Chains A and B, each alone.
Chain A
């Protein structure tokens, strides 16, 4: 009699990294998105090496100067180098966006799993809450949450993250409901697997591709929303070089030096667009059912 020394590997899920990368590279839109995003991320990570001036250095050149060889993108009201600030700004704007999506994805998934798994009345009430939150003006919700927590970047992450929870909760709940009825779940339950094991081993891997697509599609929005709140004065405070906050403090001086407004906005726009380009393609590859 042979004894099984190694357990058979579970079937490969649709999420195969190599295939995904290949599919992204052959699509011109996704390729452009990937290049732009990589450039912005490298600029943000290596800002201390790449930026000609330090984070808060003032009087790096004449004040409100247009682009020159000394200040590639010009200077702001305090003579700070806009190029350096845009590079550093990526650290704030991009990481805040990512943190927001992570926050929403974790809480949303937990909520979705909980109501989907328990079912019955809990599911009915939970779904209703998701429905109400879904179309509710998220900015009103975010502003209200900032009102409670106070102004600041971390609180903006929480506020926008909470407003984003229903997107994840709805998808995860649906997936859990679908998976609960699947034969392989029934089979593993028959083999004595507990709820937690079924969740982690069987249901989560199945919805991973959908979650990745959803997170990418939401990232663009999260970057935009958090920057909007900073622009409104509720998030990053000057002199933090967050892109939204930079636009906010530069708005009164844009007529004297338009680059004060052009470049932080352009960086923000390119970041959001590149994430959206990648998200659209990822959805076609990983989650063809929801793509056109």
Chain B
């Protein structure tokens, strides 16, 4: 219990450091925010001054930094320069399509990654292993924007099997495969080496010595232990999912957080960039915490209290 509290308190400095970095980075972005906000429209000095006051730009950096932190915690990071809409609202609107894409991509990626990794790992150096690892190599080497474009061209515009735009579940198939392929290669390699390691353990030999069938040994004894290391890398998978989402949304012209991030950067919509990065770091840090805490649940051998 003490460990849990300690870990939860422990994320505060990490959040503080990352958010401070975000603040500093956006402070040094060249260009006057008021000019960016007016986006080239002519305005009198009076209007500019009023905007400057409204945005709090007339206050010293330290005051702005303080109010930024307070607003970050409260989830109110100001209004978009472009749409004048609260940025938190804009992000929430785009959350659903990205979550759907991530879930679809995760499903495809984990299924493919586990199958390839297990097939390769239980028969090391066989032709199955070589073929599975070749597929995994293709997975890690394929540029996902190219995969997406190829899928669109073959299954969308030429064969017309699935729609490439729209809101339905069928429109999610190709984007999910695009993200999934990107994830699966690395995951398959990880699971393979994890299984190889587990298969050499004493308890596997014991299970075999008891006369258990090969598949029982693999499925019940090896799998459970072999999947622990990949689970701990869920945080890394999150990073890959986000990367996959940014690129895939762009290729398929899907709405979502990736598109929002890209557009906010291209438009220099500072409050939106700021909010997206602040929330991404928040989610990333909390996710890593959850993974760490889950670690002890999945693998009872690890006593979290002792680990500290």
Q: Which residues of A come within 8 Å of B, CB atoms?
A: 128-129, 132, 134-140, 143-148, 150, 220, 224, 227-228, 231-234, 244, 247-248, 251, 254-255, 258, 261-262, 265, 268-269, 272-273, 276-277, 280, 292
Contacts and interface: CB of A to CB of B under 8 A. Distances in A.
A265 to B, nearest CB: 4
Contacts of B243: 137-139, 228
Contacts of B143: 224, 227-228, 231, 244, 247, 265, 268-269, 272
A247 B137 CA distance: 22
Nearest to B13: A128
Contact of B18 (A132, A135, A139, A248): A132
Interface string B239-253: 100110011001100
Kindly list the 6 A-B residue pairs having the minimum CB-CB distance in the complex, ordered from nearest.
Answer: A265-B146, A273-B141, A137-B242, A137-B239, A139-B243, A135-B235
Interface string B146-190: 100110010001000000000000000000000000000000000
Given A144-B277, A254-B153, 4 more contacts: A135-B238, A265-B150, A269-B141, A273-B138
A181 to B, nearest CB: 24
Given A228-B143, A231-B247, A261-B146, A292 B192 contact: yes
B14 interface: yes
B145 interface: yes
Contact of A228 (B140, B157, B247, B266): B247
B153 A261 contact: yes
B265 A143 contact: yes
B251 A139 contact: no
Given A232-B250, A232-B262, A247-B145, A147 B137 contact: no
Interface in B24-75: 25-26, 28-30
B225 interface: no
Contacts of A136: 239, 281, 284
Nearest to B258: A139
B123 to A, nearest CB: 14
Given A234-B265, A247-B149, A254-B153, A140 B141 contact: no
A33 B25 CA distance: 40
A254 B251 CA distance: 13
Contacts of A233: 262, 266
Contact of B145 (A228, A255, A277): A228
Nearest to A28: B130
Contacts of B284: 135-137
Interface in B215-243: 233, 235-236, 238-239, 242-243
A230 to B, nearest CB: 10
B47 to A, nearest CB: 26
A129 B14 CA distance: 9
A151 to B, nearest CB: 8
Contact of A147 (B29, B145, B193): B29
A121 to B, nearest CB: 14
B145 A140 contact: no
12 contacts: A134-B236, A139-B242, A139-B246, A148-B30, A220-B141, A228-B144, A247-B143, A265-B150, A268-B143, A269-B143, A273-B141, A292-B193
